[in-house]
Structure 1
């Protein structure tokens, strides 16, 4: 039986940028905040980390830095997806070479492969590396769904061990088809508990950037049998989550990280700063949650 890469909460970490590159000192502080806060894994250079705006050299340098900074304390999972299969293979090989513990690979966007194309895409990527691969199904961003039957076929590839699933409607089918040794992680902060109740192993979380302890505890309380406690935490986070997704991710979460006192910088174009009205909403919900005064 394949072991999950992690159980609990993996933070989809923001990447702190300056006008000229990556702020590695700020990145170190964010990594330490996550480890001290109880995150069970770090996803580096994912959607929330703005990997789509990072040149390959910078992309791999950030993964390497995270691996070295974490120093095996928790798993580091590198986002290496692309809509160009050859590009995804090269990024995946380089991330493995610098020490990533696993890879997160998103469904190809824009060119919209068939289900056969998706199967071949992910299979060939996995065949070029030894580390575990987590599929990432996020139809709202890619306009494409990775169907349960395709996930089942991919689960038979030895090192494809999990899916980050944003289509809650098909989670039960994926569990029934793939069995207990294939891990499913929530890709949406507002439906962590429903996914866990269907057999999920945890969440790859945006909100964990600012509430790592509560995100970790939500999952662990569920697994420890404290369902009421887990539900209480999920419900407690909902208004904060609405503020964190008032505009496209990661615009609000970067603003929230800055409000906590970290130097996350701004998002790279074409993403822009959070609007004043939504910034005030974010402040309001962070105050209500007890994160800021």
Structure 2
């Protein structure tokens, strides 16, 4: 681990993760990754004003991709993402294998690694500190903590996150922790860049001083989401609220059934990809898609 730590001192400078990030879906066609559609998606969002893309997150169905597919998806996105920062999602529950993967990915020109707690294991807070510290030591690029207990089964306590924030490469937090008081404490504390991870919390988290959001719903009406974040950070709360007001019903609808099924249905209707997911994920129900189309059209 120490070799990676020493050989990449130049990469330890803080990365600015401010703004609106899209956790990119992974298109499929007849069971295989649809790389041409993936390239078109990246081109579609490249000039939208987003800060960058997150590859192989939960919205990208990363758990259904092999390691080789994940790497090829990342390389495909990076080849088309000129001018955009790219974050790579990494998850696992074997410390050595996860560290080796992070070391390999650190050799690529990525802005950071989005890293959750190990799933299924449910370690103690001391175990979580050991997990994230060991993996941050292995990385030559910044780490964004991903606090999402309803997926991992592990709740990261406030003091655990504060302790991890002392590591030079742990620089940001994707906040899906479901605890507004903890969110505000971390924003006030200022040691980590806090990004809203729940789309419904984009306005409140950013208005409270958060740096932005990683938002699946921003695949749709992207420029509007970007402008909401920009206006809040510029101090124009009234203008941001006017833009934000019509968005929550669409956001709620997109997560009525498991993500990214509803989102892919609407992207398919825009001609950006096929409405296809990998099992056990399933397509959105016809009734939900009909409701989402009405909500989507109202924002056009």
- 1:35-184 superposed matches below 5 A: 35-71=46-82, 73-166=83-176, 167-169=178-180, 170-176=182-188, 179-184=189-194
Residues 1:25 and 2:30 are matched in the alignment: no
Q: Distance in 2 between matches of 1:20 and 1:276?
A: 21
Aligned to 1:38, the other structure's residue is in SS state: coil
Q: Distance in 2 between matches of 1:19 and 1:244?
A: 24
| Correspondence for 2:8 | none
- 1:238-277 superposed matches below 5 A: 238-277=248-287
1:196 Cα deviation after fit: 1.4
Aligned to 1:156, the other structure's residue is in SS state: coil
1:219 Cα deviation after fit: 0.5
CA deviation vs aligned residue, 1:18-59 (integer Å, no higher than 9, x gap): 224211111111111111211111001101001011111111
Give the TM-score of the pair, scaled to structure 1. 0.93
1:165 Cα deviation after fit: 0.4
**RMSD (Å) for aligned C-alpha atoms:** 1.6
Aligned to 1:136, the other structure's residue is in SS state: strand
Q: Distance in 2 between matches of 1:42 and 1:154?
A: 24
Give the TM-score of the pair, scaled to structure 2. 0.91
Contact 1:2 1:161 in 2 (8 A): no
Bigger drift between 280-289 and 213-222 goes to 280-289
Q: In structure 1, list runs of 5 or more residues that go unmatched.
A: none
| Correspondence for 2:235 | 225
Contact 2:19 2:226 in 1 (8 A): yes
CA deviation vs aligned residue, 1:52-96 (integer Å, no higher than 9, x gap): 11111111111122122213x121000012222223223322322
Aligned to 1:77, the other structure's residue is in SS state: strand
- Residue correspondences, number: 287
CA shift in 2, pair 1:150/1:264, >3 Å: farther
Q: 2:210 aligns with which of 187, 190, 200?
A: 200
| Correspondence for 1:288 | 298
| Correspondence for 2:7 | none
Residues 1:13 and 2:8 are matched in the alignment: no
Q: In structure 2, list runs of 5 or more residues that go unmatched.
A: 1-11
Contact 1:80 1:95 in 2 (8 A): no
Q: Distance in 2 between matches of 1:211 and 1:6?
A: 21
Aligned to 1:37, the other structure's residue is in SS state: coil
1:2 Cα deviation after fit: 6.1
CA deviation vs aligned residue, 1:121-153 (integer Å, no higher than 9, x gap): 111111111100100011222232111111111
Q: Distance in 2 between matches of 1:210 and 1:93?
A: 34
